[in-house]
Amino acid sequence: MKRITLVFLLFFTKFIFAQFTANDVKYYVGSGTETAYLVVDFKDGTDDRSYAWGYRFNTGNGETFGGMMAAIASAEPNFSIDPVSGAGFLNHVTFNSHTSIGGSDWWSTWSGISAQAFTMNGGISEALTNGRWYGVSYGFSNPTSQAPATPIPAYSSQWYDAADIITWLGTGSNQSVIVIDFGTDTATIADSYAFGIKYNGTISAEDALDLIATEINGGFDYVMSGTDIASVTIGSRTETAAGTTQWSTYSGTDLSNWKTESDLSLVTLDNNAWLGLSFGTRRPFIPQDITASLSTKSFNQIKVNVYPNPTSDVLNIDTTENINNVIVYNLSGQKVLQTNTQPTVNVSALNAGVYLLEVQTEKGTGIMKFVKK
């Protein structure tokens, strides 16, 4: 596919969020009827220096600020703290490439009623209170301690990986995942899509997109404006950059460690590297694999029914299409179950509640809500 350059320039505008609330938190750890929130600000000058997590617990169990951090570290392999128990003086925090070690400076600790209303507290031994926000910020005396800045929502590295790719495009000994997020949701599932590509050596970001366009043969396309993405088409949907709503480029190795890239033309992928494109402010979120659907040149929403609904154990899928893959999500968008080519799904191990069932077939994708008793 030849690169197309538009005759007009699109201006890139960064979004600065004035408010960050509980509704913006995506990654929750723990269980219980109460919720607290953690913000970690590495103060390292990057545009993703500050992250937020949610933590669920029950009052009366002696839950502490440090215990919440330890629980998140236990659930997320890319997040670590020292001491690992979450008790004592906080010395070291790492999340992906962000890290700061006590010695030259220290971590300050905070709590408050929101992500914008922190005051310094007595340390990570503080007991958790339902609805309260807790923060740590690197820098106690350099030059002074500062409350955590407005965060972005942390994602889990466990939500999606290369093993979830159904159909790989291209050939070669190396592989990469391309995630393209339109920035919207359908039935609370992100309109975010993953493509797996195989190649030899390294591959530029543009060549990776060209490979997808060639292999899909009509179901995917993109347009460049200089060094920026101007528009992306998947199936029948096209989103074009305009005004303050732009396509942004990211690189990483999983969903948790996206790094903003200012110039798509300079991005090169090697084995296991990821490329992300996102329309608007959201970093590429939990994707769906739709290469099977797009290979027919039409990305369709198919009709699908499930029964019995509610169910306590087995869910039957009623569709006239051949099933390629079945994924169950909770209402936070987290994948909790996956199977393939099966007209029945055993959901007995799931907790009671409302879930979303995504059925992927050769002719499209269907999404259905069901209730687990």
Same domain flag for 145 and 173 = no
Same domain flag for 284 and 308 = no
Q: How many domains does the chain have?
A: 3
Q: Which pLDDT value is given to residue 333?
A: 65
Domain boundary (153, 184, 217) is at 153
Of 373, 362, 372, 360, the C-alpha closest to 317 is: 360
What mean pLDDT comes out for the span 351-360?
85
Which residues constitute the domain of residue 331?
Answer: 304-372
Same domain flag for 149 and 204 = no
Of 259, 278, 284, 282, the C-alpha closest to 269 is: 259
Burial level of 126, CB count in 10 A (0-12/13-18/19+)?
middle
pLDDT, one tens digit per residue, over 56-102 is 999 888 999 999 999 999 999 999 999 999 998 898 999 999 998 65
More confident of the two residues 5 and 307? 307
CATH number at 337 reads 2.60.40.1930
Please identify which residue in the block is written with the tokens 């169910």. Answer: 311
Same domain flag for 36 and 107 = yes
Q: Do 56 and 30 contact (CB within 8 A), yes or no?
A: yes
Is the residue at 299 inside a domain? no
pLDDT cut 90: percent of the chain above it: 61
Q: Is the dihedral of CA 162, 179, 267, 254 positive or negative?
A: negative
Whether 328 shows a pLDDT value over 70: the answer reads yes
CB count within 10 Å of CB 341 equals: 9
Angstrom distance (rounded) from CA 61 to CA 316: 40
Same domain flag for 279 and 172 = yes
CATH number at 189 reads 2.170.130.30
More confident of the two residues 327 and 230? 230
Angstrom distance (rounded) from CA 63 to CA 275: 38
Same domain flag for 262 and 312 = no
Domain boundary (101, 132, 153) is at 153
The DSSP code sequence of 174-230 is EEEEEEEEEEEEETTEEEEEEEEEEESS-EEHHHHHHHHHHHHTSSEEEEEETTEEE
Residue-averaged pLDDT of the chain = 87
Angstrom distance (rounded) from CA 265 to CA 288: 25
Is the residue at 10 inside a domain? no
Please identify which residue in the block is written with the tokens 């993953």. Answer: 194
pLDDT, one tens digit per residue, over 248-305 is 999 999 999 999 999 999 999 999 999 999 999 999 999 987 765 565 433 456 778 8
Same domain flag for 34 and 85 = yes
Task: Return the minimum-mean-pLDDT range out of 138-152, 295-309, 314-328.
Answer: 295-309
Whether 10 shows a pLDDT value over 70: the answer reads no
Is the residue at 4 inside a domain? no
